[in-house]
Amino acid sequence: MVFISRILVFVCMAALGVMISAPSEAFGSEIRRRIYLQAEEALGKGQRQDYLARRAELGDYVLLPYLTQQDLEKRMGLGISGEVRSFLREHDGTPPAEALRRSWLALLAKNAQWSRFVEDYRPQNDENLQCFYGQALLATGRRSEAMDQAASLWLSGSSRPKSCDPLFNAWIKEGGLTRALTWQRIELAMQRGQANLARHLWRHLAPADAQWLDYWLRVDQNPALILERDWTTVTHDRMDAILAHGMRKMTRADASRAAKEWDVLRRRNGLDRARFAAIENDAALYMCLRFEPGAVARVESIPQDLRSDSVREWAVRAALREQDWGAALHMLDGLSVTQKEEPRWRYWQGRALQENGRDREALVVFETLAERQDYFSMLALGHLGRPMVVPHIPLAVTDDAVRRVGKLPALQRAAELYALERYGPARREWQQAQPRFDAEELAAAAAWAHGLGWHDRAIVATAAAGHMTDLELRFPVPHSEIVFAEASATGLSPALVYGLTRQESLFMSDVGSSAGALGLMQIMPQTGKRIAGWHGEKLSHPILLLQPERNIRYGTSYLRRQFDDLQNHPFLATAAYNAGQSRVKGWLPSSLMPADVWVETIPFNETRNYVEKVAAYTAIYETRLGKASEIPGARLPLVRPRG
């Protein structure tokens, strides 16, 4: 009754010519959203007449295509092909149309309606639909295109769905599968650890080749077999791949031993170093990754022109881990010209010069980094004895530009979906629209999203526009009451909580990771249950972690625990938040270590980048929150050894 009376009030105001202000427009939008939800509910319950009545009330509401899509999905069948195809034409390229297209193509394939399938097909990520498209091309006489599609789908290191079998069978029958393509797929499968797929492909090989695949599969189980063979007489064209595979498996188990075994094997069989440089680099890389004794010397044993970029970088890190600053400077000199220009290695050039007593040269290097607004700028400023100053320069965009971009159909749909808290579909609308924006539209879209409180899109658009100095857009402060309350309760810096949350989720409260972490601070369900116990609560369902208040409360509690267990050190704590406490304890040094060195030598690229970004974001948030500037270097306690 309350809802009906509000509609009547609105209608009467409009009939009397009462000017509808911005709040009244919002009231009108709210009415339409409620009707939309009622129509959706009626459709879901199969109450078609009620659905049609509610739909009629919506007029030209921007989310009408989503209702139509759901209606057509429910009635999906060949009998409504005219309605479906008309919808696909009218809304081509929009998320609801592409969702319907996938269902429609699956139905056409099921009913072998291949001509229609080809007409209505658009490039898809779905492997089944890609394979059905190949079948459709074949069935409609476009054999050359079908054979090309088959060859493209064949080259995969994973098994393809059964829907590909008819296409593959036709392709093989026509002689499309060559010896080279068979071996290429076997190699891809072995690289991905898909030995069963490689074994399945055995039937496509001639007997002489099949023997070598059988040997390769045995090497996969027992890599030491490669040490027993005389390779001087082997001429098979997969020799290199088999040798590399066996050595790679040995290297993962024991890099130092593998390196020694390879030296013996290479010399005994007269194997060319350049030809097998990847094997030498792999062994050296894993020795560096594990900071094994002799890692730097191993890298030095590889000729400069044969070293990979990864090995060059990890040799620097191995020297840093040993705090051998002379070796570090030498390894830095061995980086490529491009690598030397990267802020990371410029910073370490400065540090190595500093530790080798060449302070004046070091300060010159640090000055070149000082104006950046990143982790290495923050560290460089510490060595220069200057606070980090982050200027706020608002995005230069006019109100008219913001209004224009807000009227784009895709963003109107996105705004309504966002208002309905359907954040995933809202982001899909944005993602389809953004690639078509020019620089001015990107800037306007960033300001428009910020006005909605849609922080993740504002951050994304601002970065895409290349405007990195608008702190309000790039570093928003949502849920401030909760963040400040929980930061105070746990003794954490609000800037750190914001910096970590920005890195974890870009402030998307609904987001879930591929690993299963949920919400603003990306908490795993099992971890959430444990944290709930600390608070005397029960987490009855993982979906509760999507609640901002609970997620921030649990996330700050968990972060506080990392501080308490790991020397009260911000770098150790943030690393543990990302990679787990047990891993971080395993990465602790054997003696006191500078914090910047410890971060640089984190073995996981993801965790190292994570710690660096959280540190930089925290420094920027301190400026954003009005905290007095400090010299960053003063806040970097040494990392103590394990034990």
Q: Is the dihedral of CA 381, 382, 383, 385 positive or negative?
A: positive
Exactly one of 504, 600, 612, 622 is catalytic; which is it? 504
With H, G, I as helix, E, B as strand and everything else as coil, classify residue 542. Answer: helix
Residues in the chain: 643
Q: Which of 517, 519, 521, 551 is nearest to 535 (CA)?
A: 551
Question: What's the rounded Cα separation, in Å, for the pair 523 and 504?
Answer: 10
- In DSSP notation, 280-318 reads HHHHHHHHHHTT-TTHHHHHHTS-GGG--HHHHHHHHHH
Neighbours of 366 (CB within 10 A): 25
504 is catalytic: yes
Burial category of 25 from C-beta neighbours within 10 Å (exposed 0-12, middle 13-18, buried 19 and up): exposed
Return the structure tokens found at 265: 């094997």
Return the structure tokens found at 297: 């010397």
Question: What's the rounded Cα separation, in Å, for the pair 434 and 457?
Answer: 10
Q: Is the dihedral of CA 464, 470, 473, 475 positive or negative?
A: positive
Contact 495, 621 (CB under 8 A): yes
With H, G, I as helix, E, B as strand and everything else as coil, classify residue 46. Answer: coil
Q: Return the bridge partners of 518, or none.
A: 512, 523
Residue 220, C-beta contacts closer than 8 angstroms, at least 6 positions apart: 190, 195, 245, 249
Each as own residue / partner, the long-range contacts of residues 346-349 (CB below 8 Å, 24 or more positions apart, any chain) are: 346/376, 347/376, 347/379, 347/380, 348/316, 348/320, 348/600
With H, G, I as helix, E, B as strand and everything else as coil, classify residue 128. Answer: helix
Q: What is the dihedral of CA 122, 124, 126, 132, to 10 degrees?
A: 40
Provide Rg for the chain, Cα atoms: 30
Question: What's the rounded Cα separation, in Å, for the pair 295 and 315?
Answer: 7
Task: Classify each residue of 473-489 as buried b or exposed e, where b means 16 or more C-beta atoms within 10 Å of its C-beta.
Answer: bbbbbebeebbebbbee
Q: Which of 167, 112, 106, 159 is nearest to 138 (CA)?
A: 167
Backbone angles phi, psi at 377, to 5 degrees: -65, -45
Query: What is the crossing angle of helices 239-253 and 277-289, to 10°?
Result: 10
Question: What's the rounded Cα separation, in Å, for the pair 141 and 115?
Answer: 10
With H, G, I as helix, E, B as strand and everything else as coil, classify residue 512. Answer: strand
**Helix %, strand %, coil % for the chain, to 5?**
70, 0, 30
Residue 357, C-beta contacts closer than 8 angstroms, at least 6 positions apart: none
Q: Which residues are catalytic?
A: 504
